[in-house]
Amino acid sequence: MSLPEHGNLGASDTLLGLCKSREEGKIKPGNLVVLASSAAGFSWGALTIKF
């Protein structure tokens, strides 16, 4: 994923990165993936997914 290709998509960045990583074969069955994101102020979130 690159800035020239997509720009800043805000809250969608994390999910787009996950989708592109799966399409490119970077995530294999059994992998543990951590998604983390932040927003304005002190807002943030994270989750862990096992594929």
| pLDDT tens by residue, the chain, 51 residues | 566 777 777 777 888 889 989 999 999 999 999 999 888 888 889 999 999
Q: How many domains does the chain have?
A: 1
Q: Look at residue 39 in the predicted model and tell me its pLDDT.
A: 80
Q: Look at residue 1 in the predicted model and tell me its pLDDT.
A: 57
Range of the domain at 31: 3-50
* Radius of gyration, CA atoms only, the chain: 12
If DSSP codes are grouped into helix, strand and coil, which group holds residue 36? strand
pTM over 0.75: no
Give the integer Cα–Cα distance in Å for 14 and 35: 7
Q: Look at residue 3 in the predicted model and tell me its pLDDT.
A: 64
Q: Look at residue 26 in the predicted model and tell me its pLDDT.
A: 95
